[in-house]
Structure 1
Amino acid sequence: MSIDIMTTKGAAATTMETDSALLMTIRRAVTLRTAAALTRAVADLINTGGISPQTRLPTIREVSDSLGMSRSAVGQAWQELQVQGLVESKRRGGTVVIGQPTPPHAKRYESMIRASIAMPVDLGNLWYGDMPRIDLGPAFQYAVNHPDVGHQFAQQITPELRRAVSTTWPFPTESFLAMHGAVDALEMSLASLVRPGDRVAVAVPAIARVFDILESLSATPVLIPWRSAGPDLDDLNRALVGKPAAFVYQPNRALPTGRSVTPDWITDAAEILTGTLPILELDQTWPLEGPLSSLGTKLPEQVLHIRSFNYAFGADMRQAVLGGNSRLTDVLWNRLSYSSRYVSRIMQLAQAYLLTDPDTAGALASWNTEIHRRHHSFAEALRRRGLDVEDYSPPLIWLRVPDQHSVCTRLSTRGIVVHPGSFFQPGTRWDQRISINAAATSKDVEKLADEIAMACDPRLAGGA
C-alpha cells in the first residue's frame, strides 16, 4: 500500500511540474492579456511543435490565475482553439492538444475524381460528354487581336462581357465581377462572409462542392430541404433564428434535381428574408432553356447571383460572372486585387464573343435541343423499366434507389460511374438517391438503362 501511495504522489508531483512548465511557456508567448492574443499564442505553439500532441492544457482556472486574465476570456480562447481543430475537450480529461490540423481537402470532389478515373462511361459528373463541341477558335482570335489586350491593370469585368451578360441577367444591377467558374465565385463569396463556427443555410440537394467549401471554412451547413415550389420556407424561417451567415440555393434547374423555384416562392421567400442575410444564387446549367427566377428581383441589395458558362463551353473555358450586391462585389474585387487571381482580358473577351456571336448562338440552340432530347430519351428508358423518374429539367436525373451505395458499386463494376445522393445532401434523414447525367451520351441508352435497372433491383440491394 505504501508503495502505491508513494507512486501516486510521485506522479502527481511530475504532473504539477509539467503543468507549471507549460504555464510558463504559455505566459512567455502571450504578449497581450486578451482572448484573441491567448488564442494566437497557443495556436502558434501547437503549430510549431512548442506544445506536443496529446498534451493536456492547464485548466481555465490555472491559466486565468497565472496570466491575470478573466476565466471567461480564457474559456473563449480555449473554445476558439477547439473550433480551429487544434484541441478537443475530454470533459474530466481536460482540454487535450490534437496537434497541427491536416490541410482541408475537398473530400466529395476527390471521391468523384477517384470514382471516375479510367471508367468507360461517366454518367456521374456534370459535363457535356460526347455532345458536339462549341467552336472556340473565332472567340480567341477575336480576343487576342483586341486593342485592350496587354494593358497592365486588371478589370473587374470588361465592357464587352458586361454588355453580354446584362441583357439576360435576371434582375437589374450595375455590379458585376468575372470569376474563374461558379465554384471559385462561391468559395470566395463564402470565405468573405463566413467565420469559423458560423452557420450557413443551404437548400438541399445542393452541389457537392458547397459542403467541401463549408468544411474548409469550419462552418456548419443548416440544411433546408427542397419542396415542390422551392426550398422549405418554414425550415428556412426557423434557420434564421440561429443567425446564419448566408443562404445558398439554386433558383433555376437546380443540380442534381432539375427543380426550379416558382414565382410564388420568390414572393414568399422575399418576405421572410428581407433585411436578414446575404443570399448566394447559383446557376451552373446556362444556357439551358427554362425560368430565370431570382430573389434579386425583390432583394437586389442582398443577392449575389452566380452564372457559370463552362457547362456549355467546357472546363478549360472555366468562367462565371457574379452580379448583384455592390458592397459584396466590391469586397470580392478588393480580395482579387491583392493577387493575380483575376480573370484575364483574353478570357473575358473570348467569353463575351461567345455570348454575342450569331453563329455560336445557333450552335447553342442546337446544343440545347440535343440536351433536352437526350434527357427525355434516358428518362423514358428508365421509366419503361419501372423506375420512378421525376419530371424535371435536364441534364441530370435524381433517381430514387433502394440503396445508393450498392447501386453505385454495382454500376462501377460494369464500368459506369454515377454518384450517390449523400454527396449532395449530407446525413441519413433523406431518401436513397443517385445522380445520373442523362445528357452525357446518346450511345447505348437502352443498354445503360438495363444496367441501372438491374443495379436497382431491391433483391440485390443488400450488397455489391
Structure 2
Amino acid sequence: MAEDVPPQDGPAVSSAWLAEQVTEASAAGIAATIARLVRHGELAPQTRLPTVRALASRLDVSPATVSAAWATLRKQRVVAGGGRQGTWVLGGLAVPRPARYENISRLWPNQTLNLSRAVPDPALLPNLAPAFEHALRDPEVHSYDVVSISGPLRAAAEHTWPFRTDNWMTVNGGYEGLLLLMRTTVVPGEHVAIEDPATPRLLDILDNVGARAVPVATDADGPIPASLRDALRLDPVAFVYEPRSSSYLGASVTPGRRDELAALLAGTDTLVVEDDGLGELSAFDYHGVAELLPEQSVLVRSYSKSHSPDLRLGVMAGATEPIERVRVYRQFGSGWTSRLLQNALAWLLEDEAARSTVAAARTTYQERREHLAGLLAARGVPSAGVDGLAIWVPVRSEPEALLVLASHGVAVAGASASWTRPAPPVIRVATGIPIPDADRVADAIALAVQAR
C-alpha cells in the first residue's frame, strides 16, 4: 500500500477510512465527498488527507482521478497543498473571492482617512432626480421583454461611441461586463494577454475563470507592441487593456500606438477587450484598437465614476459573437439591466446640465490630483498620474510605506496587487474625494516613502 499521509504534525485521516466514505469513485464524486465531510464537521481544519496514490489504490481508480478531485477542491479553497507537502483541509466551504480587490476598510477605525479607493465625489455627480422622472415615463416600464439595451440608451451612447456597430449590451457596471466576457470566452487553462500592470479586479476575474495571464508591458502610450508580439506567440483567446486614462498612471493609447497594436492583432483569433473604466470623465480622446478592428473587439465603457455608481451601468458594444454569448449567458440570472436605470442614464447623456456637471467634475478632479502632487513635489516626493482619480508615488518598500501611513491614520493602496511579476514598489493615493488637511497627509507620505 502506498504511503497514507506524508509525515507531518497534526490530525490526519487514513485512505481506508476516507475510501469508505466515498460513494462514487469519480473525480466529481470524491470532491463531493470531501466537501460533505467538511460541511458536516467530520473533517476539521488542518486535517491531513491521504496521498493521491494511497487513496487511488483504495478506490481502484487512477491517481489522475484523485488529483482531479484535489484540484477542484483547491480551486474552491476547501483544501490546500499538494505534492510532497501533502494536502490538508483549509476549513469550511469557501466561495471564490476577489482576493486582490476585496477591501478591508470595514475593519478600520472610523477616524481612518481612506485614500485607498479611487472613487468619485458624490458632490460632483449629476442630479439623478430629473433623470428618473424622465425614465418613469417610458411606456415599457414593468415589461418582462428581454432587451440587450434600451432604445433611448443606445441612441444616446451612439453619439459618443468611437465606431459603428449593431451589437450592443448593457451590463451592471464595467467589471461585470469584463467578468461576463471572460466567463463566456475563456476555457480554464487558456491564455489571456493583459496589460501589466492591470487592475486587481481584472486579475481576480482571470483567476476566477481559470485563465493564465500573459503580461504585456506598458508605457505612457499604452501597451508596448514588442511585448504584445511576444504574448501573441502563446495564442491568447483575449487581450484585455485600458485604451485611455489607465488605472496605473492614467496612460492613454495614441493613434500611432493604436495602429501598431491593430496591425499585430489583425488576422488573429484573439478577442480584443477594451476597458474604458473612466469613461466620460477621461480628459483624453479615445484611440483604441476597436476603431480599426470592430469585428474583433468589444469596448466596455463604465458610467459609474462619471454619472453615479448607483446607476450600476456599463455599456459594451462591438464584435457579434462575444456580445451574443454574454446575452445568452445572462439568461441564467438577471437577463437584462433595469430599463429605469438605462433610460435615466440615456437622459443624463443628452441633458446639457448633466454634461456640464461631468465636465466640471473632470476639471475639479484634475485640480485635486495636481494639488496633492504639488504638495508632494514641495517635499521632494515625486508622483505620477496624468488623469483619473489617484496619483502613484514610488516608495522604497510598499509594506513599510503602508504601515507608516496607517500609523498616521491614513489608508492607501499598494500597487503590488496590480502586477503579475515583480515590479518597483509604488503606492496609490486616491484624490477623487476632498482630502482634509492635505498638508498633514503630504507630510505623512513624505515620511512613508523613506521607510524600508
State the TM-score bracket (shorter-chain normalisation): 0.7 to 0.9
1 CA distance for matches of 2:53 and 2:192?
A: 32
**Are 2:381 and 1:387 aligned?**
yes
Match for 2:319 among 313, 325, 331? 325
For 1:266 and 1:159, locate their aligned partners in 2 and report how far apart those are by CA, in whole Å.
31
> What secondary structure is seen at the aligned counterpart in 1 of 2:306?
helix
Query: Max radius of gyration: which structure?
Result: 1
Flag the 1:443–1:236 CA change in 2: closer, same or farther, 3 A. same
How many residue pairs align between the two structures? Answer: 432
SS in 2 for 1:139: helix
Alignment-mate amino acid for residue 434 of structure 1: I
Residue 431 of structure 2 corresponds to residue 438 of structure 1: yes
Deviations 1:188-222 (A, max 9, x none): 21111223333322212222211222233333322
The alpha-carbon deviation at position 229 of structure 1 amounts to 2.5
Q: Which of residues 197, 200, 209 is equivalent to 2:192?
A: 200
Q: 1:286 — aligned with what?
A: 279
**What is the CA deviation profile of residues 153-183 of structure 1, one whole-angstrom value per residue up to 9, with x for unaligned ones?**
2211001100111121122211111111111
Task: Output the amino acid matched with 2:423.
Answer: W
CA separation in 1, counterparts of 2:199 and 2:51?
Answer: 40
Larger relative helix fraction = 1
After TM superposition, the structure 1 = structure 2 runs for residues 341-360 of structure 1, keeping only pairs within 5 Å, are 342-360=336-354
What SS is found at the alignment partner of 1:107?
coil
Distance 1:103 1:129, change over 3 A: same
Give the letter for the 1:295 counterpart: V
Point out the more displaced range, 104-113 or 48-57. 48-57
Mapped contact 2:190–2:237 kept (Cα < 8 A): yes
Q: Could you tell me how far apart the structure 1 residues matched to 2:337 and 2:321 are?
A: 20
Query: 1:299 and 2:293 equivalent?
Result: yes
1:222 equivalent in structure 2? 214
> Are 1:75 and 2:68 matched, yes or no?
no
Comparing 399-408 with 343-352, greater Cα deviation is found at 399-408
Q: Secondary structure at the match of 1:282?
A: strand
Q: Which residue of 2 aligns with 1:147?
A: 139
Aligned to 1:33: none
Structure 1 residues 132 and 83: CA distance shift in structure 2, 3 A: same
Question: Aligned residue for 1:48?
Answer: 36
- Residues 192 and 236 in structure 2, CA contact (< 8 A), matched pair in contact too: yes
> Which amino acid in structure 1 is aligned with residue 333 of structure 2?
S
**Cα distance 1:132–1:113, how it changes in 2: closer, same or farther (>3 A)?**
same
In the TM superposition, what whole-angstrom CA distance separates every residue of 1:235-281 from its partner, at most 9, and x where no partner exists? 33222333333222111000032011222221221222222312221
Once the two structures are superposed, the pairs formed by residues 257-272 of structure 1 within 5 Å of their partners are 257-272=249-264
The 1:164/1:23 distance shift into structure 2, 3 A limit, reads: same
The answer on 1:451 being equivalent to 2:444 is yes
2:8 is matched with: none
Structure 2 unaligned runs (5+)?
6-13
Does 346-355 or 204-213 show the bigger shift? Answer: 204-213
Q: Deviations over 1:64-104 (max 9, x none)?
A: 9946xxx6xx6377347426527778556888887886322
Report the CA distance between 1:306 and its aligned residue: 0.8
With over 3 angstroms needed to count, the CA separation of the structure-2 counterparts of 1:79 and 1:197, relative to structure 1, is: farther
Distance between the aligned counterparts of 2:277 and 2:94, measured in 1? 31
- Greater alpha carbon shift after TM alignment, 52-61 vs 168-177: 52-61
2:416 maps to 1:422: yes
| 2-structure distance, mates of 1:284, 1:406 | 30
Using the TM superposition, name which of 184-193 and 236-245 deviates more: 236-245
The SS at the match of 1:313 is: coil
Structure 1 stretch displaced more, 373-382 or 97-106: 97-106
* Distance (whole Å) between structure 2 residues aligned to residue 290 and residue 55 of structure 1: 55
Identity %: 25
CA, structure 1 residues 357+66, in 2 after alignment: closer, same or farther (shift >3 Å)?
A: same
1-structure distance, mates of 2:130, 2:411? 34
